[in-house]
Amino acid sequence: MRLIVTEKDSAARKIADILGGKVTVKAHGRGRQKVRSYHFGYGDDDAVAIGLRGHVMQTVFPNTYRRWSLKYLGDMIERPDLAWVVDGAAAGTLAALRSVAKGATEVVIATDYDREGELIGHEALEILRGDALKRHPHDKPEKKKKAGVAGRGKAAAAPPAEPPADSGDPHVKAMLPAAAVDRHIRVRYSALTREEVEAAFAKPSTVDFNLAEAAHSRQDIDLIWGAVLTRFMSLASYRYGSDYLSVGRVQSPTLRLVVDRELERRAFVPVPYWEIKATLTRGDDTVEVAHAKGRFDSLEAMETAFSRAQADTAEVTAYKAEPRKVAPPPPFNTTALMSAASGGGVSPARAMRAAESLYLDGLISYPRTDNTVYPPSLDLRGSLEALAGWQPVATVAARLAKQGKYTPTRGKKRTTDHPPIYPVGVPKKELSGDQAKVYDLVARRFLATLLPAAVIEGQRVDVRIGREPFLARGSRVASPGFLEVYEKYAAKRDRPLPALQPGDVLQVRELRSESKETQPPSRYGQGPLIEKMEELGLGTKATRADIIQHLYDRNYVRDNPIEPTELGVALITAFDAAMKEAPVDISSWQMTAKLDDEMDRISEGELRRDQVVAESQDMLEQAWKLLDGHVADIRERIKGGVRDDLTLGECKNCGGQLRVLRGKTGKRFAACVGKEGDAPQPAADGERPRRGCGQTFPLPQRGTITPTGRSCGDCGWPEIKVVGAGGRGRPWVLCVDIDCPSKEKYRSRARKNA
């Protein structure tokens, strides 16, 4: 019998459907631990496919480091004593694997085709062979459970409950003879389609242990860095429990990008400038022109030009129209897809989830890829023929499918593991939500890469008003090319000027000057941030979206475009103050990119995991010593950041500060806490003395509340902004005063403006 192990249940089901004629489904365990296996005949043998739940092993510290204390941090860095053990949460999956593995003569690893997939395959082999540890070897074995005692309080840290009583041997009992496991085969496919899966099974290879080792190193290093720095920052600033300050090897440099941009904005000094514009008409045509000089740096220069441009008519002095080609975009890799999706209102994290489910449904190819060049073996025609059955692009796809040969666009990155993301099937029923948006994007992008360039006619008209030169630019789509399917995702290009020739005369309807200021650099949107991360080598295609999401979840950033909270700013500036003397700042992207580069070298077999982990321990130790010398400063900064995030504005009654507080039940509300440094007010007998004037307001219980810095035009109380989790939804600006006369008006206006 063949045992086929996949990374997820849906992939196991899909492979069984593709390879087997008739599939029998068996359920193991119940509730959330329920696992399914898929049994079928394969050739003249039997086969069973079973899906894991992603990683089934994890890197852990020994239990001696479980307590959070600054005292242990040095030990954790110097002697992390990591062990690779079975993940306790995977007990149900392992029990199911044990039961279906019985009697297997051949093991097929069919996990996802990437670094993490290779490690998960390695994990499965360790477990099947009986080499995996079920607990840290330096931890005491779990005591025999007494009947009726539920001992799973600390579920995450508890060793796996398999087998029930620990006999003293820390190894999981073997599920198959070692010889059978060592004969394993590895199949690699980039899409869950019949062609790909059958081709993969026809051309098996073995697990790439170097690649798995690279993923394993990343796990180890991330655990040490994350645990040490998170504990240090949290303990230094007295933030315990759910308020802990999460610090991560890739997360902090990403936060730094956002914070650095914000600090640049704060330091920015706007410079005033002026522009002169005019509205011209001829018959029904209107043209907006601007002074050919563009910006005037001084008011006098502008006023001089303005007075020289006093005239009722304008004369066309030149008209130019030049066609230029706009090339279709390159094929999608993960970053480009996430960036394009976020331009369409789907955050990178949501786009990635939608893309994964489209992949598991056999609709698109594997969505984690860096590649932007279609391999020659790719069946472009097959995908086109399939897309001809999908109504929104059916005509174009059918026309392309009949074409003799294709010259698809090529991007800059070429890798050989996966093809770029392209559609491999069409939805049988209508998709909805993010899935519909992402599928539409992938399908149209794919067609766009096979269509010709668009021809855009760039237009420029020069006119003279009085004694001054003005001009306007326009554009016209002369030949749509790829825009036939991709216009909705491309920059808008059809803004034609009316047909004009030199000598034409137009009426000047209006001549006006506009006073403006130079603008600070803009904040990162989620799409551009993910592109920046790729450019700097921060994170991987598999982790970038989650890292950004985590910044939102930890309250370090809010909104989209992304704005750091004061807590986020404090965290980075505290690092900077402590790291001034450090050779390399551990929260810099260079540091992270270096480690990621070393992981690539592990996968090439040039470096070993222990070397890279040891090197990162040294860097961490240096950093920790510097941080430790700045504990008081870090504490002050973090406290200040938190306080600023919670301060909504000035109390109208007493001039004190209106701040977000939490009641005993956890409900939040706004209350006046008086002025900074005020002594508590005397209170009646039996009451606690309080600060401030006693004014309180209820607050929305969901979403992130931030001060806008403005006060309500109707009642004078501060205005606040409420944003949904993860920068989702439309921000809602409202007056904090529940009884404000303008409440309804504000709500509807906020909705319209957002």
Task: Enumerate binding residues for Zn ion (CB under 5 A).
Answer: 651, 653-654, 656, 672, 692-693, 695, 712, 714-715, 735, 737, 740
Residue 648 Cβ vs Zn ion, minimum distance, rounded to whole Å: 12
Residue 520 Cβ vs Zn ion, minimum distance, rounded to whole Å: 29
Q: Count the neighbouring beta carbons within 10 Å of the beta carbon of residue 532.
A: 17
For Zn ion, give the closer residue by CB, 3 or 670. 670
- Exposed, middle or buried: residue 726 (CB in 10 Å: 0-12, 13-18, 19+)? buried
Phi first, then psi: what are they for 71, rounded to 5°? -60, -40
Residue 709 Cβ vs Zn ion, minimum distance, rounded to whole Å: 15
> Do 478 and 453 meet the contact criterion of CB atoms below 8 Å apart?
no
Find the catalytic residue in 189, 359, 366, 746: 366
**Apex 509 CA angle, 504 and 512, nearest 5:** 115
For Zn ion, give the closer residue by CB, 481 or 674. 674
Query: Where does 497-572 show beta strands of DSSP type E?
Result: 505-517, 557-558, 563-564
Residue 712 Cβ vs Zn ion, minimum distance, rounded to whole Å: 3
What secondary structure letter does DSSP report for 161?
-
Element (DSSP H or E) covering residue 227? helix 209-236
For Zn ion, give the closer residue by CB, 185 or 693. 693
If we measure between CA atoms, which residue out of 437, 436, 443 comes closest to residue 384? 443
b/e sequence 173-190, b meaning 16+ C-beta within 10 Å: ebbbeeebbeebbbbbbb
For Zn ion, give the closer residue by CB, 349 or 734. 734
If we measure between CA atoms, which residue out of 371, 344, 704 comes closest to residue 541? 371
Tell me the helix, strand and coil percentages in the chain, rounded to 5: 40, 20, 40
Q: Distance between CA atoms of 557 and 516, rounded to whole angstroms?
A: 29
For Zn ion, give the closer residue by CB, 77 or 670. 670
Residue 659 Cβ vs Zn ion, minimum distance, rounded to whole Å: 10
Reported residue count of the chain is: 754
For Zn ion, give the closer residue by CB, 569 or 740. 740
Q: Is 319 a catalytic residue?
A: no
For Zn ion, give the closer residue by CB, 279 or 742. 742
Residue 738 Cβ vs Zn ion, minimum distance, rounded to whole Å: 9
At a CB cut-off of 8 Å and minimum separation 6, what does 213 contact? 602, 603, 608, 609
Q: Distance between CA atoms of 742 and 712, rounded to whole angstroms?
A: 9
Residue 593 zone, left/alpha/beta (φ > 0; ψ -120 to 50; rest): alpha
Residue 695 Cβ vs Zn ion, minimum distance, rounded to whole Å: 5
Site of tokens 């690649």: 211
Catalytic residue IDs: 366
